[in-house]
Homo-oligomer: A and B are copies of this chain.
Amino acid sequence: MRLSRFFLPTLKEDPKEAQIVSHRLMLRAGMIQQSSAGIYSWLPLGFRVLKNIERIVREEQDRAGALEILMPTIQPADLWRESGRYDDYGKEMLRITDRHERDMLYGPTNEEQVTDIFRSNVKSYKNLPLNLYHIQWKFRDEVRPRFGIMRGREFLMKDAYSFDLDYEGAKTAYNNMFVAYLKTFSRLGLNAIPLRAETGPIGGDLSHEFIVLADTGESEVFYHKDLLAQKTPDRDNYTAEELQEIVDQWTSFYAAADDMHVPEKCDVSDADLVTRRGIEVGHIFHFGEKYSNAMGATVAGPEGKDVTVSMGSYGIGVSRLVGGIIEASHDDDGIIWPESVAPFKVGLINLKSGDGACDAACDDFYGKLLDAGVDVLYDDTAGRAGEKFAKMDLIGLPWQATIGPRGVKSGVVEVKSRSSGKKQELSVDAALDLLVGKS
């Protein structure tokens, strides 16, 4: 993509309304624009990151055997009356009346909706286990939306729902998602810690939240230093026993958020206890029969009797992760994207746009990168060199390749790694090898 044809409205000054670094950098990098309080438009750069995160989340759900569906944003209130949550939910639920005076709502989550799909279609234990997920916009009418897309009102979430014949089956489904989450966050370049959590309004008796470590995180977490030394699972098709072993291993280390951590009761030595800040990016729940019972989701069991299915739900904050990754990966100059989610892999800087030789060398290098399938943002604009470097640092592409008049003469491209800051002067071919990923 040529920058001259892209839409990248960056800001040189820090916007006043942004209190946290991810909000500030997303506004400065032209990733989002506020539409109203807690509601944002995603501009091209931000949209590309959002899509990359969504893709990785989807791939790991698919690998885990979950099936993708798409439930609507607007739900009928009657479904929520069946579970009793229509009254429980309070003012965070955006309530809507349609033209025929029917009570509707903008879904804040989908337990009722998916249970309705299940009970309408699945009649036999033979169709179990089943895990249905979707990636859809949700709405929670926060009283004080803040921190940009980190605590917005309209947000993109992946939510999966598992259905099993009994508690043990649902436990395996839960463990399966636990392991999928470890893989997902690892691919996103994040250190994520699973914490035993309260189940809150979702209900149930087993729950973990996944916290991404970031110095600027919203809450404090305490954990045993060996926790993050665990190997991330990397295989598919683990057996139920293997899943349980992985979960047991990851949960054998102490880990607690500030609201659960009681220093007197924590038996980890001071030398082993790490205190960091973190951001919640995922939450999984085993809630058994809470919704299937209230809504009559049963199947014919192996002995012919009706069995109420055992359920769990599994959320990942897809749009929130954009902010979470920035909180975890930035410096004073801007964002540092992990390669897996970067909006482009390479930023190509033409140091003297308008100079014939320089333009020709850059155009040629750009074409070669495109031919090799590399996503490139090519700054072909007339800006000053200093501005171009600052903009590339701000938007945080993993690699910067710079070609100027001096380099054209000597056949040299300067390649910089955004994360390490390391610069190398390379021949065109060596630079291509590095950026295409052959070397």
Task: Count copies of this chain in the complex.
Answer: 2
User: Which one, B5, B137, B141, contacts A99 given CB within 8 A?
Assistant: B141
Residues of B within 8 A of A132 (CB): 7
A40: chain B residues within 8 A (beta carbon): 72
Q: Tell me whether A238 is interfacial, beta carbon within 8 Å.
A: no
User: Please, which residues of chain B bring their CB within 8 A of the CB of A104?
Assistant: 36
CB within 8 Å for A71 and B7 given contacts A99-B141, A120-B33: no
Q: Which of these, B39, B116, B130, B139, contacts A7 with CB under 8 Å?
A: B130
The yes or no answer to A247 lying at the interface (CB within 8 A) is: no
Could you mark each residue 84-115 of chain A with 1 if its beta carbon is under 8 Å from any beta carbon of chain B, else 0? 00000001101010110010101000000100
Question: Which of B43, B99, B113, B141 meets A69, CB within 8 Å?
Answer: B43
Q: Are B139 and A35 in contact, with the CB atoms below 8 A?
A: no
Contact present for B70 and A41 (CB under 8 Å): yes
Residues of A contacting B: mostly:
mixed
In the complex, are the beta carbons of B96 and A35 less than 8 A apart?
Answer: no
Instruction: List 29 A–B pairs whose Cβ atoms lie within 8 Å, in order of A's numbering.
Output: A5-B65, A7-B127, A7-B130, A7-B132, A9-B120, A9-B122, A30-B121, A33-B117, A33-B120, A33-B121, A35-B71, A35-B72, A35-B75, A36-B74, A39-B72, A39-B74, A40-B72, A41-B71, A73-B73, A73-B154, A74-B94, A74-B106, A74-B139, A74-B153, A74-B154, A91-B99, A94-B96, A106-B106, A137-B137
Give residues in A with beta carbon < 8 Å to B: 5-7, 9, 30, 33, 35-36, 39-44, 47, 50, 65, 67-76, 91-92, 94, 96, 98-99, 102, 104, 106, 113, 116-117, 120-122, 127, 130, 132, 137, 139, 141, 143, 153-154
